[in-house]
Structure 1
Amino acid sequence: MRARLLRAAPLLLALAVLAGCASVPGHSSVQVLRQTGDQGNSDVPTGPVDGSDPLNLVRSFVYASGRPAERHAAARRYLAPQASSWDDGAALTILDETFDTVFSPTPPPGGPDRASVRIRGTRLGTLDASGVFRSAPAPVEVDVGAVRRDGQWRIDALPQGVFVRLSDFRANFRSLKAWFVDPVHRTLLSDPHYIPSGRTTELAARAIELLLRGPSEDLGDAAVTSFPRGAALRANLTETPDGIVVADFNGVDSLAEPDRRLLAGQIALTLAEVSVPRVRVLADGEPLLPGRPDVGREDFADLVAGPTATQVPEPLVVDGGKVRRLTGPGQDVPVGGQAGNGSFDVVDAAATSRTNRIAVVSREQTGTQRLLVGPRDGQLVATPVSGATLQSPTWNAAGDEIWVLANGVPQRVLVPGAGTGATGPIRALGLDTDELRAAGSLTDLAMSPDGSRVAAVAGGRAVVGAVVVGPDGAAAVRRVRALRPAELERAVALDWRATDQLIVTTNTDQPVHLVSIDGLTLDRLPSVNLTPPLRAVAAAPGRAPYFVADRSGVWSYAGGDLDAWQQMLGATSSAQPFYPG
């Protein structure tokens, strides 16, 4: 049976068709790719209501602008003929939910049949040409002209680009993780983008286009692509009779075998995000991986940075000078080895599932604190890091580096060992955190599950930056940005709920939040039973529950249970819950 052509949208898409929001399942279901011309979702709004006044007309226009289908056909119904040249692809600005439409202070010339309406709201940020959200919170005021013809008001003058409410954006767009390569560890990292919801054909074409563009500026040199410069699709995507998508590229046949596998992994993982379970990756008509033409997400599990699916982290807690396992409400048992037997007075700790090791902060008899590392259930050895105060130890994805705040300054330590690929003694490594420290005094630190980013509490704000490792092995934190500074003021602690989402605690009336790493989405969790101030928080990808430590103890939340937090440990004011990374 002849392969059906997927008449995908052109690879160079306008800004207005690059955006999105939705969590991606770990396993994609099989879906038949339909032709672009097939019957789709056409239930667009009917347009302005007869007799609408200018204020309601402009407000309804903003609502309709959330629908990107057919070059914003729904919004164009509000335009007069003289506004037909409106460029909806010039920019995409996302507004907070509440906005006003008021008459401009200075009426336009032309008498009662002309009006000038001002849109007043709060800008959350903009979407760039590659579908990456750029946080830029600020007040915004935009004037829109309206004209009355035959008794009906229509918009005849407006700025180029689109203004979209956050709720409309979330309803009509979805997130897409494009996958790229960590050039140091040679693993795959996800890079969040946004695209309009649509047919699988359109989503698959946009996914390939994002891969060909390369990683976003947010990751910078922390990620690269295996696509050589000038590589491109030879033809539109096609589908075999048994549902396998065929992607044939030119300009990739010169790649060595390891780079071919990384490239195939990039393609398979990215297309899996849009429900393409298997893909046939070709180079000039021949299999990119000789003998393995058809690949899927599961074929590259070993290349994904961070703990594997078989390494399920268990919740741990530092309390009473020991590291303990949280086995149930009011139940905890010390871990084996020196971390849990009282050999050291442990005040903080972090574990890694990748290499089954633990790092602890020990309070010495001299009053100083020292960082120790070793097997989870074994002997601990000292690292070169000590100081008056050590806090927030956190492991990288490979399990061969530990970062820690020493007197408020991040320090980086190499911890060689079996399975890490690192050799030699435990030693300090170069780390440039000037951009991170410029954001404010650091009080918490957490490495992302894939090691590509680090999050911190800096000056009472939640910030995130890319981890860039240079040719000499020295690392730097770059492109640091604050996440929702107005809503996440007085931040106290944070942890990674996923590679693209953080859980943040604040000392405010709404103390627990989930925020995307680009700052686009913010969701508040219940606070029932919690007693401020909160001190610590723990989360892990794909794991429930969350844990927080407040004035009275350690609490857990997994949803349900009347949206209340459940007490795990009581009568403790110093416990520090954590998940292995």
Structure 2
Amino acid sequence: MDADRAKRGRGRPVRATVYVGIGAVLLAGCASMPDSGDMRDVESTPRQDAKVRVFALPPAEDAEPQEIVQGFLEALTSDDLNYETARKYLTGDALKTWDPGVSTTVLDEAPTAYTRVTGERPETDEYGFELSGKNVARVDGQHAYAPASGQYRKPVHLTRVKETGQWRIDELPQGVVLGRSDFERNYQSINKYYFTSAAQSGEPGTVADPVYVRSQVDPVTQVVRDLLEGPTSWLNPVARTSFPSGTALLKGTKALTPDDQNRLVVPLNKKADRVSDSRCEEMAAQLLFTLQDYMPTGVDTVELQGSTGVPLCELGENEAGAVASHGRDRSAGYEYLIDGDHKLVRLSDRDPVTTPSPVPGALGDGEKQLRSAAVSRGEDRAAGVSADGRELYVTPMTAGGTLGDPVLRSAGATAKDRLTTPSWDGRGDLWVADRDPEKPRLLVLADGMGEPLEVRTPNLDGRIEAVRVAADGVRIALILENKGKRALHIGRVERDADAEGTTVSIVELRSVTPDLEDVTAMSWAGDSRLVVVGREPGGVQQMRYVRVDGSPIPGSGPSALTGVEEIAASEDESQPLVAHSADGIVRLSPGQQWQTVVKEGSAPVYPG
């Protein structure tokens, strides 16, 4: 094959694809490329099994400028640890300064290279191309994903190296650019875990910080390095790490791999040598939660070592729950809904009986008709919105409890201009939006009681139609309506206290469903995942999962369901979805189909 390529002198560089299976190794063949003609799209790698490894080939001898650009783009999609093969296509300053870690640009399809109109010709020993495509997303230097739009256009310049006579790239954009299918094959979303002060129990709570790592290139070590570098810029103001500033893997550490007992040893530099036992356990908990997100059955125990090899602490998954409140521990006892008599009732997915029973207390007694409700995460209190949307009540879920006076009233003229469904955060605070056009507000009631505090919402673009606060208390999901279109946004919750009191603000709102023009319902469905009901422009209603960074989740969403008006999911992903649809209240348990559980009912919710 190499001999044939040498004879042609124009062989198109391609990747070698290695299928790691039961004793089989397959190598991709070589394809020829004409000496002249227009550039073609760089072929994007089709979706492949996780065990497939792709390695690029170096430049062919006497390759033309088109082939050099093509080969370089192909090399960007390979599994080289430090893009060693891609660097072989570079020369001069480009070889010295190109930094693939600056960013990863994701295009709808693999980038297309067009000849720039510069008057440059191959016989002048210089040549230029323009890479182009349609932006989908950008992964920054912290490996954080953000949706992007518009056209991608970047120049690439080539020169003929005097010493060898070979064409090489001497000017190019920083970072990596590749098509969506190659990105989905090469990269994997991982939740890093940090701490917040939002846990109601008083122990630190965790918050997920999703990043993308190259899935075939030493991912365990990548994940650990990313965690040690601290929260991404968006989350950093409301999260903390227990690792001392400057903590990194011990110099010389190579690939980290769990042993056959699912135990991972992590050697750290001297910055961690003097941490206390309790702080070390928090550090180990962060590592354990993060690694178990990447490989749920691969790491059971983490041992941290100091710079001299002395063990600092060890933490197993059975002890981690005592260190921090974590998402997988947030399993709800019941599913809740408003029944046909407008009372708050509950169901248990563990109970074969599908007849809901009223909750203890005034909201289950029918004293006040309700249209929506929220149950605290401890399942000991409930907040209910009256049937006309005007009043909000908060009561304990105990037998004999009285309704009391409403904690909030809306002056909206119509039901749709009044209160949204409320939401409890992990601190025990209650959130609700008042949609009164004359005075639209987002409000929070500390511990569900007292004077409602108006939340600052700078740069809010639209009216709030739905509110869901994450269990961590530092992220909030909002459906915003603007000019008849509804979109899902995620914001950061910031709290500032001074002598005059506490200020709560929602900042840096970002859209996570840019391709949906009408989002009608949503719910948190995991530490960094939501389930969304919406419609694409000109399309029909659909249900899908999305991440808080706006990245899609590979694979199909929940099975189709007709006429979904409301959706509820638990942050414990093992619990079923519950929806209000044309068939009533329906439930989707893992591995099953939708089943009707209540013919008449609305507003299903899990605690939160």
Q: What TM-score do the two structures reach when normalised by structure 2?
A: 0.73
Change (3 A) 1:226 1:100: closer
Give, in whole Å, the separation in 2 of the partners of 1:147 and 1:350: 65
What's 2:579 paired with? 548
User: 1:520-547 deviations in whole A, cap 9, x for unaligned?
Assistant: 225663674413xx42221123134323
Give, in whole Å, the separation in 2 of the partners of 1:559 and 1:376: 32
Change (3 A) 1:368 1:188: closer
* Code of the aligned partner of 1:325: R
Q: Displacement of 1:462 after TM fit? A: 0.8
Trace 1:148-297 onto structure 2 (pairs within 5 A): 157-183=171-197, 185=199, 186-198=204-216, 202-232=218-248, 244-252=264-272, 258-273=278-293, 275-282=298-305, 293-297=313-317
User: 1:410-430 deviations in whole A, cap 9, x for unaligned?
Assistant: 2111237xxxxxxxxx22364
Give, in whole Å, the separation in 1 of the partners of 2:327 and 2:382: 15
Instruction: Tell me which structure has the larger Cα radius of gyration.
Output: 2
What's 1:458 paired with? 480
1:72 is aligned, of 66, 73, 83, to: 83
Give, in whole Å, the separation in 2 of the partners of 1:478 and 1:158: 35
Change (3 A) 1:61 1:535: farther
What's 1:535 paired with? 565
Q: Displacement of 1:273 after TM fit? A: 4.4
Whether the 8 Å CA contact 1:117–1:145 is kept in 2: the answer is yes
What's 1:519 paired with? 550
Q: Secondary structure at the match of 2:149?
A: strand
What's 2:318 paired with? 298
What's 2:469 paired with? 447
Q: Displacement of 1:311 after TM fit? A: 3.4
Give, in whole Å, the separation in 1 of the partners of 2:97 and 2:306: 41
User: 1:459-516 deviations in whole A, cap 9, x for unaligned?
Assistant: 311110122233455432222111142x122212211111111111114425222111
Change (3 A) 1:334 1:95: same
Give, in whole Å, the separation in 1 of the partners of 2:528 and 2:244: 27
User: 1:212-232 deviations in whole A, cap 9, x for unaligned?
Assistant: 322222113211122333445
Whether the 8 Å CA contact 2:441–2:455 is kept in 1: the answer is no
Q: Is 1:576 the equivalent of 2:597?
A: no
Give, in whole Å, the separation in 1 of the partners of 2:70 and 2:94: 17
Higher relative contact order (CA 8 A, sep 6+): 1
Give, in whole Å, the separation in 2 of the partners of 1:58 and 1:286: 46
Give, in whole Å, the separation in 2 of the partners of 1:241 and 1:95: 37
Give, in whole Å, the separation in 1 of the partners of 2:287 and 2:78: 28
Q: Is 1:390 the equivalent of 2:419?
A: yes
Whether the 8 Å CA contact 1:547–1:556 is kept in 2: the answer is yes
* Code of the aligned partner of 2:462: G
Q: Secondary structure at the match of 1:167?
A: helix
* Code of the aligned partner of 2:491: G
Give, in whole Å, the separation in 2 of the partners of 1:261 and 1:58: 49
Q: Secondary structure at the match of 1:298?
A: helix
* Code of the aligned partner of 1:506: G
Structure 1, gaps ≥5 residues long: 1-39, 417-425
Cα RMSD (Å): 4.0
* Code of the aligned partner of 1:169: F
Q: What TM-score do the two structures reach when normalised by structure 1?
A: 0.76
Q: Secondary structure at the match of 1:340?
A: helix
What's 1:311 paired with? 331
Q: Is 1:478 the equivalent of 2:507?
A: yes
The answer to which of 124-133 and 248-257 deviates more is 248-257
Q: Secondary structure at the match of 2:421?
A: strand
User: 1:86-142 deviations in whole A, cap 9, x for unaligned?
Assistant: 614253233233256253461541257876443322223322322222343332122
What's 1:30 paired with? none
Trace 1:110-149 onto structure 2 (pairs within 5 A): 110=121, 116-145=128-157
The answer to which of 219-228 and 381-390 deviates more is 381-390
Whether the 8 Å CA contact 1:443–1:457 is kept in 2: the answer is yes
* Code of the aligned partner of 1:263: M
Give, in whole Å, the separation in 2 of the partners of 1:128 and 1:310: 31
Give, in whole Å, the separation in 2 of the partners of 1:49 and 1:526: 47
Q: Displacement of 1:41 after TM fit? A: 8.8
Whether the 8 Å CA contact 2:62–2:167 is kept in 1: the answer is yes
Q: Displacement of 1:551 after TM fit? A: 5.1
Q: Secondary structure at the match of 1:70?
A: coil
Give, in whole Å, the separation in 2 of the partners of 1:383 and 1:427: 11
Whether the 8 Å CA contact 2:408–2:452 is kept in 1: the answer is no
